[in-house]
């Protein structure tokens, strides 16, 4: 439909602008091709100065190309230059076709204000009222949407702030945990370290005893009157002590290090924070620890 | 929450360390053993300079009762004696089961062997730079032997050659100390053996060995109540006629002085290598004669075996002593003649010497 009407509109606007002086707004009836629903209804009266005419031509070209919003603006500028009310009607049509209801309403209102006695003024006023109502509704909806958008933005910002606060609080707790290690860990670790030290000492004693034994028994063969059993007992006892203290001490140290990072149990009053134990048997010693991290 | 997953791993680590503490050791002394002595197992090599000379092995150890000599050395105790008259070979291995004593006390000489060649033919050892006998001393010969086989009686023909001591002849001579011997010795007299040999056997070629073993002697460890059999004497000649014809000190007899403990029982086995293959084989022509007796200075239990006109079984011989001076001591005489009933040859027990080509 628009393609069919565009040549007619062009012909009408060009012929009118070139052959006729600008007509007053009340001459709208003279436009034999006026159609309030289509581009052919564009008003051309009063385009008597060059600038306005150029604007009109640009607007006309834009309209033909389907750039209705830009066409509407050019019609309004042509109106500002020429004060031809028909240009407002043209702007109304262009804005209407662009779907820009507020601008179309404004242009139509301007037209009716300039041409209150236009031939179809009553019809146009009814349309204007309908359009104004729709604009009002649209503005209200937009306002409501804007309000919702602002509300959502505020909510998102609040959530982000809460998350940042939670992270900061966790980091603060972690720093606090790191700085406040479980003192039981120091105690157990110290005991383990002392055991390892004792193991080293026992190992040195054992090595010394064995060295003495090697001196007395070259080639690991001892004289008949040598009390080998007693010497073996001394070496083996020291070796056993070294074994137990070294490995047991190492185990206790590991437990101590683990205890250092155990929480103190303040978060849960029902459960004990840590339970540690140690036992020795024929197969060796064992240390255990239970707790919550 | 994720921290709770660490607890099983921590407990596993602690348990592993505890297990390791019970199963690993830093040190121990279980690889030490008490010296138990060993067989004399000595292989000599390249002894060609001494093939025709008398050679004597003295198995000795220090028992703490030795005499301190002027030069500070201490006389050892004679535990066993081996005599070759003459040596008769360049390379050979001698095994005397259980003859080497353990080291009795720290600082004392462990069981070893002093051996020497009678270069100057005086029958006694002289360490003289101008006309010396050649002597060598090996101490502590048991220490490097495998303990499990150190005292297992075995013939050198069947023993692992790597388990004994090997001595290659050299000129780095030692000044041997004459050991303190026991007051009793043994003499084996040969009488009429040539007539008892099978036809065609040249008595000159008959190799004769005398083995003397203690029967249930007090154990070398000194532990009260423990007893053991062990070799105390070995004597060898490779030509019995040469021995019989020799008009020297040992004419017609083999003497092993100072090796018998008074009151203990001994077994003497005389072995004749009739077939001349340097191996005492069972079931062949080789012969063995066995005599067992209690050694005593008071009684002469073997007199019944003797057929000498005086009925004496007692002779005097030279005892080893620290001064190297002769001392008359009792020798238990054993007379071997063709009328004695031969005993069976035990190859594994009777072959103490292996001559190595």
Residue appearing with tokens 């100072």: B258
Segment 14-73 of chain A within 8 Å of chain B by CB? none
pLDDT tops 80 at residue A285: no
Whole-angstrom CA distances from B270 to A262, B193, B234 are 87, 12, 10
Residue B130 or A53, more confident: A53
Q: List, for residues B78-129, the tens digit of each pLDDT value.
A: 999 999 989 999 999 999 999 999 998 988 999 999 999 999 888 788 887 6
What is the b/e burial string over B56-65, where b = at least 16 CB atoms within 10 angstroms of the residue's CB?
bbbbbbbbee
Residue A206 or B200, more confident: A206
Query: Rounded to whole angstroms, how far apart are CA atoms A188 and A195?
Result: 10
Q: Per the structure block, which two tokens stand in for B348?
A: 């594994």
Out of B6, B26, B147, the one facing A293 most closely (by C-beta) is B6
Is the minimum CB–CB distance between B24 and chain A shorter than 8 Å? yes
SS3 B146: coil
User: Across the strands, what pairs with A85?
Assistant: none
Is the minimum CB–CB distance between A241 and chain B shorter than 8 Å? no
Provide the shortest C-alpha distance from residue A136 to chain B (in Å).
Answer: 57
**Subunit contact A239:B110, Cβ cutoff 8 A:** no
Contacts across the A-B interface (CB distance below 8 Å): 143
pLDDT tops 80 at residue A31: no
ipTM for the whole complex: 0.75
Task: Give the rounded percent of residues in chain A with a pLDDT score beyond 70.
Answer: 72
Out of A217, A242, A244, the one facing B32 most closely (by C-beta) is A217
Order of strands, sheet of B353-355, starting from the edge strand that comes earlier in the sequence: B165-168, B38-45, B92-100, B353-355
Preferred mutation among A224, A245, A277, A287 to probe B, highest tally of B CBs within 10 A: A224
Task: From A157, A204, A182, A168, select the one nearest A275 (Cα to Cα).
Answer: A182
Q: List, for residues A93-146, the tens digit of each pLDDT value.
A: 999 999 898 899 999 999 999 988 888 889 999 999 999 998 899 889 989 999
């Amino acid at each position: 439909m628009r393609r069919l009407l565009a040549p007619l509109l062009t012909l009408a606007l060009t012929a009118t602008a070139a052959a006729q002086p600008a007509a007053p707004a009340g001459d709208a009836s003279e436009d034999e091709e006026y159609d309030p629903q289509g581009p052919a209804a564009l008003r051309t009266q009063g385009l008597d100065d060059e600038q306005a005419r150029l604007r009109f031509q640009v607007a006309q070209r834009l309209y033909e190309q389907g750039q209705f919003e830009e066409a509407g603006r050019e019609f309004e500028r042509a109106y500002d230059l020429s004060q031809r009310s028909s240009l407002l009607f043209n702007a109304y049509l262009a804005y209407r076709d662009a779907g820009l209801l507020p601008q179309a309403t404004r242009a139509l209102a301007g037209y009716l204000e300039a041409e209150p006695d236009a031939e179809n003024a009553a019809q146009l006023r009814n349309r204007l009222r309908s359009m104004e109502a729709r604009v009002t509704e649209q503005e209200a909806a937009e306002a409501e949407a804007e309000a919702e958008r602002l509300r959502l933005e505020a909510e998102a910002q609040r959530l982000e702030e809460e998350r940042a606060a939670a992270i900061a609080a966790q980091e603060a707790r972690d720093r606090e945990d790191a700085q406040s290690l479980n003192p039981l860990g120091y105690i157990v670790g110290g005991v383990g370290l002392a055991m390892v030290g004792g193991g080293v000492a026992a190992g040195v004693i054992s090595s010394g005893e064995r060295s003495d034994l090697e001196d007395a028994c070259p080639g690991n063969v001892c004289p008949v009157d040598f009390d080998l059993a007693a010497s073996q007992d001394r070496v083996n006892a020291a070796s056993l002590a070294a074994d137990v203290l070294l490995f047991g001490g190492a185990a206790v140290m590991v437990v101590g290090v683990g205890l250092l990072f155990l929480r103190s149990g303040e978060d849960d009053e029902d459960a004990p924070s840590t339970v540690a134990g140690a036992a020795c048997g024929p197969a060796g010693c064992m240390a255990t620890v239970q707790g919550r991290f | 929450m994720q921290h709770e997953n660490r607890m099983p791993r921590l407990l596993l680590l602690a348990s592993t360390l505890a297990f390791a503490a019970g199963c690993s050791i830093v040190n121990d002394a279980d690889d030490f053993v008490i010296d138990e002595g060993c067989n004399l197992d000595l292989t000599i090599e390249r002894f060609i300079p001494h093939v025709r000379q008398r050679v004597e092995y003295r198995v000795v150890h220090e028992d703490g009762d030795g005499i301190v000599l002027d030069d500070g050395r201490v006389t050892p105790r004679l535990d066993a004696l081996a005599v070759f008259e003459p040596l008769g070979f360049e390379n050979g291995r001698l095994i005397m089961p259980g003859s080497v004593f353990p080291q009795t006390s720290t600082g004392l000489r462990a069981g070893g062997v002093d051996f020497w060649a009678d270069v100057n033919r005086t029958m006694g050892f002289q360490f003289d730079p101008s006309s010396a006998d050649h002597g060598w001393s090996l101490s502590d010969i048991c220490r490097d032997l495998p303990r499990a086989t150190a005292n297992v009686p075995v013939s050198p023909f069947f023993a692992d050659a790597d388990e004994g001591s090997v001595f290659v002849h050299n000129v780095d001579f030692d000044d041997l100390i004459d050991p303190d011997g026991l007051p009793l010795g043994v003499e084996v007299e040969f009488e009429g053996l040539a007539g008892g040999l099978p036809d065609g056997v040249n008595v000159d070629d008959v190799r004769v060995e005398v083995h003397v073993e203690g029967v249930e002697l007090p154990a070398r460890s000194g532990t009260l109540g423990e007893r053991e059999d062990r070799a105390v004497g070995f004597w060898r000649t490779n030509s019995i006629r040469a021995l019989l014809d020799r008009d020297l000190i040992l004419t017609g007899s083999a003497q092993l002085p100072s090796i018998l403990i008074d009151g203990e029982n001994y077994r003497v086995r005389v072995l004749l290598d009739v077939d001349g293959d340097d191996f005492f084989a069972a079931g062949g022509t080789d012969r063995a004669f066995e005599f067992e007796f209690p050694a005593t200075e008071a009684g002469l239990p073997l007199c019944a075996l003797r057929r000498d006109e005086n009925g004496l079984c007692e002779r005097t011989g030279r005892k080893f002593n620290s001064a190297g001076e002769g001392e008359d001591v009792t020798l238990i005489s054993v007379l071997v003649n063709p009328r004695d009933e031969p005993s069976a040859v035990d190859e594994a027990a009777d072959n103490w010497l292996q001559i190595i080509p």
